[in-house]
Amino acid sequence: MTTRRLESVRDEIGKCVRCAACQAGCPTYESAFSETMSARGRLRLAQAVLDGRIGLTKRVSGDFFECLACMSCSSSCPSNVDIMKIVMVTRAEAVASGADGRLLRFINRHLLPYHARLNILAKLVGVAALFYKLAPGFLTRHLPYTQGIAKRATPDFLGRSLRSRLYGAVNPDHAPPSTGRTKRVAYFSGCMTDLAFPGTGTSVVDTLNRAGAEVVFPNEQVCCGAPAWFGGDMETARELAESNVKTFDALDVDSIVISCATCGSVLSGVYPELLDNSAEAKRVADKIVDFQWLVVKLGVEKIYETIKNPGRKIRVTYHDPCHLKRGMGVYREPREILRNTPGVEFVEMENADRCCGGPGAFSLTHYDAAMEYGRLKAEAIVDSGAETVVTSCPSCQLQLDDALRKFGSDIPVAHIADMIAAAGERQTGSGGQIAVSEKE
């Protein structure tokens, strides 16, 4: 078996001094208490494959696919080992050798680059979810592989996509039209916001407009490639990166705003490496900013300046998406927004930055394990005394919502952009509630 891909990270693996600092806080290690479910153990497995002592079998690659990519190990590693790169390259090796991930690769290759196909799939999932609610046994009896998906809470995929709301009859090039604002930014929404949480996307645009930024939404944007990258399909990830870099590098904008933590960490942290550190990829990566970071930079007070009487305070807590805190270094900004939001009392939960267990396809392929991580997060939310939990990643939103309901809580979950928009609506008397899971 060839180990060409793994050879490229041999030196990186060699940087590990086996200190085990990465074990504390690793959700998979703490759950399984098994060495090969920690970063150190995974690195030793990769070394053993490289040395030919073991093969990259489905059993071995499974330990790499169970990594949540939460980056907790990366932030505690004293040797600065690029653990995520080693895990992803090992996954790619497993996919290329046929040991694992072939179905995901097939799905990635034939869906991710095509927005129209993703849109159709979203509608089919929406119809299936509706059907499942009406006849729960039918689907899983006749399509056994839907069992994992059927257990999971699904968002409303049946509404209009974000791009059809922002882009269309009013302005065929970009939306919304220029209104003489001082800063010009592009919005990269990501597929989940586009197809499952379009209301969050419009909240992002409205908030940035209120804070003084003109927002353009290039219709040519495609999936960031995270599912392919995390699924070990480097070729598809590279194709998607090339397409997005071409689209966004051509725009005359100050920044490129993201409201999905995973998209942001891939666009800023993975694209340059995927595209051989090309000047275009670096230019795009350097412009990536998180929505909350930009709101704070533009001035939180601007978006709330008309609110005089916010009414009863609601206790709100915040969940840090792994890829936002450890991937992009953004964690102070959401707290600053929450502390400045009229009508909100911010309360911190225990282990706010612990992975919720819901990254990407993991919660579909390993649903029961994902729910075990979700249970710990749900307990922390309930213990905080919060009436609402907000976050800044659609995948975390789904997972938190599912985990809270599964463990008997009715605490609503919202994207922080929806909370900001709801605070504004409460003032105008249009009935906005912070305690909503999605503003529509």
Q: Give the separation between CA 401 and CA 105, rounded to whole angstroms.
A: 28
For ligand SF4, which stretch binds (CB under 6 A), given 70-78, 119-127, 172-180, 261-269? 70-78
Task: Rule CB under 6 A: say whether 420 interacts with ligand SF4.
Answer: no
Q: Where does 54-156 show beta strands of DSSP type E? A: none
For ligand SF4, which stretch binds (CB under 6 A), given 35-43, 166-174, 277-285, 335-343? 35-43
Using DSSP, state whether 318 is helix, strand or coil.
Answer: strand
Query: How, if at all, do strands 314-318 and 388-391 pair?
Result: parallel
Task: Rule CB under 6 A: say whether 69 interacts with ligand SF4.
Answer: yes
Task: Rule CB under 6 A: say whether 77 interacts with ligand SF4.
Answer: yes
Shortest separation between residue 5's beta carbon and ligand SF4, angstroms: 19
Count other Cβ atoms within 10 Å, centred on residue 35. Answer: 15
For ligand SF4, which stretch binds (CB under 6 A), given 14-22, 336-344, 365-373, 429-437? 14-22
User: 321's torsion region: left (phi>0), alpha (psi -120 to 50) or beta?
Assistant: beta
Q: Which pair of structure tokens corresponds to residue 202? A: 């419009």
Closer to ligand SF4 by Cβ: residue 44 or 405:
44
Taking the C-alpha atoms of 85, 89, 94 and 100 in order, what is their torsion angle to the nearest 10 degrees? 40
Shortest separation between residue 59's beta carbon and ligand SF4, angstroms: 17
Question: Can you tell me which of 6, 9, 13, 26 binds ligand SF4, judged by CB under 6 A?
Answer: 26
Q: Give the separation between CA 89 and CA 6, rounded to whole angstroms.
A: 6
Taking the C-alpha atoms of 130, 135, 139 and 144 in order, what is their torsion angle to the nearest 10 degrees? 120
Using DSSP, state whether 440 is helix, strand or coil.
Answer: coil
Using DSSP, state whether 186 is helix, strand or coil.
Answer: strand
Q: Give the separation between CA 220 and CA 172, rounded to whole angstroms.
A: 12
Count other Cβ atoms within 10 Å, centred on residue 201. Answer: 26
Shortest separation between residue 66's beta carbon and ligand SF4, angstroms: 8
For ligand SF4, which stretch binds (CB under 6 A), given 19-27, 45-53, 91-99, 219-227? 19-27
Site string for ligand SF4, 36-65 (x = CB under 6 A): ---xx--x----------------------
Task: Rule CB under 6 A: say whether 27 interacts with ligand SF4.
Answer: yes
Task: Rule CB under 6 A: say whether 356 interacts with ligand SF4.
Answer: no
Closer to ligand SF4 by Cβ: residue 19 or 130:
19
Question: Can you tell me which of 22, 88, 253, 256 binds ligand SF4, judged by CB under 6 A?
Answer: 22
Shortest separation between residue 64's beta carbon and ligand SF4, angstroms: 9
Q: Comparing C-alpha atoms, which of 406, 397, 398, 360 is closest to residue 379?
A: 406
Closer to ligand SF4 by Cβ: residue 255 or 391:
391
Shortest separation between residue 337's beta carbon and ligand SF4, angstroms: 27
Shortest separation between residue 69's beta carbon and ligand SF4, angstroms: 5
Q: How many chain residues bind ligand SF4 (CB under 6 A)?
A: 25
Handedness of CA 120, 195, 374, 435 (dihedral sign): negative
Q: Give the separation between CA 53 and CA 47, rounded to whole angstroms.
A: 9
Cis before 342? omega within 30: no
Task: Rule CB under 6 A: say whether 162 interacts with ligand SF4.
Answer: no
Residues lying near ligand SF4 in the complex (CB under 6 A) are found at 16-22, 26-29, 39-40, 43, 67-73, 77, 79, 81, 83
